[in-house]
Amino acid sequence: MKLTTIAIKNAKPQDKPYHLLDGDNLSLYITPQGGKIWRYGYRHNNKRKQIALGKYPVISLAEARELKLEKQRLSVTSAVVTRIPCGKPFVSTAI
């Protein structure tokens, strides 16, 4: 089931971190301190990997879905995905 903005706003911190799943390997990671971080899971060389897409509400639900689609497109073209310190995604192509 897809996430809604109401479900995200109503997500409260718990004793342990947990995920709210949006589908297609996109999830919202909720920390015990109340932080909400978008994560996208993928496989590379048969290993499970995750990349943080940004914090909620800086990155909205629609933006997180768009970033996920971007990352899926990049994985098809074998690009290297990295992050810069400001928290915004930066993409450079593999040489």
- Contact (CB, 8 A) for 29 and 37: yes
**Measured distance CA(76)–CA(87) in Å, rounded:** 24
Helices (H), 34-76: 61-76
pLDDT tens per residue across span 43-60:
888 899 999 999 999 999
Nearest to 13 by CA among 35, 39, 42, 44: 35
3-state secondary structure of 7: helix
Instruction: CATH number of the domain at 59, please.
Output: 3.30.160.390
The residue ranges of the chain whose pLDDT is under 50 are 79
**Measured distance CA(14)–CA(86) in Å, rounded:** 27
Number of domains in the chain: 1
Note the pTM of the prediction, 2 decimals: 0.76
Count the residues in the chain.
95
Structural domain harbouring 57: 5-92
